[in-house]
Structure 1
Amino acid sequence: MLKKFRWYWLICWGTVLSLALSYTAHAQGSIGFVLPPDRKMVEVPFEEYSNLIVVPVTINNFLTLKFILDTGAESAILTEKLFGDILGLQYVRDITIQAPGVQDSLQAYVATGLHLALPGGIQGRSINMLVLKHDYLELNKNLGEEIYGILGYDLFNRFVVNVDYDDKVIRFYRPEHYKPKRSAQEIPLEVTNTKPFVQMTVSQKDRTDSVKLMVDTGASHALLLDVRNMNDIAFPEKLLTSRLGQGLGGEIPGFLGRMSECSIGGYEFDEVLSSIPIDGAYIKAIKRGSRHGTIGGDLLTRFNVTFDYPNQKLYLKRSNRFHDEFDFDMSGITLGAVGKKLDSLVVRRIQDETPAADAGILPGDVVLKVNGLNLRNATMGEITDLLRKKDGFKVRIVIWREGKKEKKVFRLRRMI
């Protein structure tokens, strides 16, 4: 089993597609995704990076790339135009879209009629895809893995989709052949504007609020709460200013806090990390029907989750991670993968007044080792997990700066 990755970036790229692709979504005789005719269910192994579900997808029977499965995405996205050029894609139009992040807009192209294939014989015919003009997300640098695409509603609306986080397997069922397990908790699911929503409660001190949240497998956080609806929700008193993540529109600034309790379908969690973007960094177009925010991968991975779009139901069954604490970085370092083979680390950002900042580590420093680990003997997830290990944990970092090695030592400190 792959090691769990628990970063708290808000990588909400796919949720912008309540946009110009809708006019072609079911046009041109699109038949969408189908299982092999002799199969009632197909299992597809997946990899997990930063709480995100990643599967191989073959485009036009020619090029296989890793894609993220994102319930917040309306249509497929190719994040690197170079691959569109290699495939010889023809674009029916170019569009300007709004996206989560600090940029106002970005450019993309619309390609139609693509053939996509997943393992197990799952075929998607006449699929429409958004091809980004530039690689705004830089998933490879942020996740340390070659990932260049996103799949969303086109896939989820055709099947009952069971995400087994314990066994790292996704099961795609024909809706008429799916029978939920008795041990799974059934929750009403509202699919609006191609996106799934559920009701849950969040509590702070003596106040409990009912909120409607989008279920977003394409986001790494546990909860995201919308600051524009502060009158509807009792927000945490202690907030940490933070870079919440990376969206299509760039960095998403905001705050982190902990809700004292949240509950979904009778399951309860304490001290849940909650992301609160600043007003304007997380636009209304992303949620389209959600008033209060989103549920992301850091909460979803505590269950084995089944999405039943055709019957508007969500099924939850405890995973092996159910009792894990909600962690956050205790160093103040944001690392990125660089190099042709993504085998080197660089410091992308340092948060002020953190252990790493106090130790004199600077953006641009090349990281040679973190307690003996680097991208040649460990994954990026294992290294970032080390930086949230526990309060007081000693970290030794070897960096390369201005032509020489330097050693930095600090102890992790819980900041939220």
Structure 2
Amino acid sequence: MRPFSILTLILYFWIFVATAQVPGFYMREAEKKVELPIIVSNNLVIIPLSINSGPPVNFLLDTGVKTNILFSKTFGNFIGLNYTRKLDLVGADGQTILTASVSPNNYIDMGPLEGIFQTLLVLDEDFMELEQVIGIPVYGVIGYEFFKYNTVKIDYDRQKITFYANDMMKRKPVGYKKVNIKLDNSKPYITGKIKQSSDTELEGKLLIDIGANHGLLLNRETTDEILLPEKNIKSDLGRSLGGDLFGFVGRTFLLDINGVKFKDVITSFPEETEFSYVIRESGRQGSIGSEILGRLTVILDYNREKMYIKRGDTFLIPFEFDMSGITPRLLPMDEKIIYVTQVREGSPAYEAGIRMKDEFYDINNIPIAFWELPDLIKLFRSEEGREINVTMKRFLGEDPENFELKDFKFRLKRQI
């Protein structure tokens, strides 16, 4: 019996070691749960981490991607990543082709959590432009690997993530609504009821996309039942890999997620691109982004294909779109520079005389150094009729020292 017992012990030990080495994210210690502090900026979830004992950097948590992505080959080379092959990626505009190098078997340190044998797609051309939109540096995205084995709770109000042991979420938590999800190509989908008006209803397959800063996004090319609202504005819908996404913004009368109802939702309607065939093949009609998810506490349980949601502190705040006409961006420099990347014709800011490339000097008599980009975006969505006083730098040529200061005054106006 002894040889059999020793063989069994050795086999058990080998299975244990092999299991522990499966790529994924794990708790360092055997706990029921651990908490991670996060940064919530414009309702996007940012996690500080380090790769292969390198310096700490910020990554965006994103359920809309399958593989982890590092935006900077320069940083990847700095921390000594190894690359095995190259891939081509299609950009957000459906046209731009991005090349990436594949770096396998990396170690990701999140304090009480560790990512074992993690693959990174490393963009060959540095893309550090999310800082211009979010307001803080973001070096990459963490996707499916973070969620695939363990239940994850995202508490936007407390700015915490709770990472649970796999056997801890067998029943619906008290106070939450249960929503069935379906994993398709490692991405979570739900069925939601969409009322574009009071007398029309569509059941749509919707991607749960924590890494997107829209509210509801509907792809008109997927079904004739999705119509552009009469009241809409043409807009830049956001910055992503491969360029800006353009389309229209309007309102959806009602979005119902298993009885949790959102009214008058700001909705993006992107233009059809060469990439649209991928969306059609997925069978989805759209996606739910952080402007909706950030109003909830969200628990994702990929193993049991469940999502649990409950109302957060901001649930009842009305959905608002920018009422100024300005799309501001941050220029990443030692000195804070926030400038106008677009201004919609006919908008309050445009009528007041503000133009593209104007640079904020002060806002309501507060110098720009005291403003953060998310606070400025919040101000421009705050209250119809609110008076905004700004002083802008207008440059008179290519010389950055050659400018004049111009004062502008306008009132916020709801356009959709």
Q: Displacement of 1:355 after TM fit?
A: 1.2
Mark the runs of 5 or more structure 2 residues left unpaired by the alignment.
1-20, 397-402
CA contact (8 A) 1:224 1:293 kept: yes
CA contact (8 A) 2:248 2:270 kept: yes
Q: Does 2:232 match 1:232?
A: no
**Which residue does 1:131 correspond to in 2?**
122
Q: Note the 1:330-345 alignment, pairs <5 A.
A: 330-341=323-334, 343-345=336-338
CA contact (8 A) 2:128 2:138 kept: no
**Which residue does 1:291 correspond to in 2?**
284
Mark the runs of 5 or more structure 1 residues left unpaired by the alignment.
1-28
**Which residue does 1:411 correspond to in 2?**
411
Whole-Å separation in 2 of the counterparts to 1:415 and 1:198: 30
**Which residue does 2:210 correspond to in 1?**
217
Q: Over alpha carbons, which structure has the higher Rg? A: 2
Q: Displacement of 1:83 after TM fit?
A: 0.7
* 1:270 alignment partner, one of 260, 263, 272: 263
Q: Displacement of 1:344 after TM fit?
A: 1.6
* 1:145 alignment partner, one of 111, 136, 152: 136
Q: Displacement of 1:137 after TM fit?
A: 5.6
* 1:58 alignment partner, one of 44, 47, 50: 50
Q: Which amino acid aligns with 1:299?
A: I
Whole-Å separation in 2 of the counterparts to 1:180 and 1:75: 29
Q: Which amino acid aligns with 1:40?
A: K
Q: Displacement of 1:374 after TM fit?
A: 4.6
Change in Cα spacing, 1:205 to 1:180, as seen in structure 2 (3 Å) is closer
Whole-Å separation in 2 of the counterparts to 1:342 and 1:50: 22
* 1:169 alignment partner, one of 160, 175, 187: 160
Q: Which amino acid aligns with 1:358?
A: E
Q: Note the 1:16-415 alignment, pairs <5 A.
A: 30-101=22-93, 103-119=95-111, 121-136=112-127, 138-178=129-169, 179-203=171-195, 204-280=197-273, 283-285=276-278, 289-341=282-334, 343-401=336-394, 402=396, 403-415=403-415
Q: Which amino acid aligns with 1:413?
A: K
1:306-332: CA deviation from partner (whole Å, max 9, x where unpaired): 000000000011111111111110111
Q: Which stretch shifts more, 157-166 or 170-179?
A: 170-179
**Which residue does 2:10 correspond to in 1?**
none
Q: Which amino acid aligns with 2:191?
A: Q
Q: Displacement of 1:30 after TM fit?
A: 4.4
1:175-208: CA deviation from partner (whole Å, max 9, x where unpaired): 2123542211111111111000001101123111
Q: Displacement of 1:59 after TM fit?
A: 0.5
- Determine what percentage of the aligned residue pairs are the same residue: 32
1:128-153: CA deviation from partner (whole Å, max 9, x where unpaired): 00111223460111222111111010
Whole-Å separation in 2 of the counterparts to 1:345 and 1:55: 24
Whole-Å separation in 2 of the counterparts to 1:139 and 1:367: 19
CA contact (8 A) 1:137 1:250 kept: no
Whole-Å separation in 1 of the counterparts to 2:172 and 2:409: 51
Whole-Å separation in 2 of the counterparts to 1:351 and 1:282: 26
CA contact (8 A) 2:360 2:390 kept: yes
SS across alignment from 2:278 = helix
SS across alignment from 2:369 = coil
Change in Cα spacing, 1:288 to 1:373, as seen in structure 2 (3 Å) is farther
CA contact (8 A) 1:57 1:118 kept: yes
Whole-Å separation in 2 of the counterparts to 1:206 and 1:260: 10
Change in Cα spacing, 1:230 to 1:31, as seen in structure 2 (3 Å) is closer
Q: Which stretch shifts more, 288-297 or 210-219?
A: 288-297
Change in Cα spacing, 1:329 to 1:83, as seen in structure 2 (3 Å) is same
Q: Which stretch shifts more, 373-382 or 105-114?
A: 373-382
Whole-Å separation in 1 of the counterparts to 2:334 and 2:280: 35
Whole-Å separation in 2 of the counterparts to 1:137 and 1:284: 28
Q: Displacement of 1:222 after TM fit?
A: 0.8
Q: Which amino acid aligns with 2:391?
A: V
| RMSD between aligned residues | 1.8
Q: Which has the higher contact order (CA 8 A, sep 6+)?
A: 1
Q: Displacement of 1:279 after TM fit?
A: 0.8
CA contact (8 A) 1:373 1:383 kept: no
Whole-Å separation in 2 of the counterparts to 1:286 and 1:117: 33
SS across alignment from 1:334 = strand
Whole-Å separation in 2 of the counterparts to 1:35 and 1:340: 37
CA contact (8 A) 1:374 1:383 kept: no
Q: Which amino acid aligns with 1:412?
A: L
Change in Cα spacing, 1:226 to 1:41, as seen in structure 2 (3 Å) is same
* Number of residue pairs the alignment of both structures matches: 388
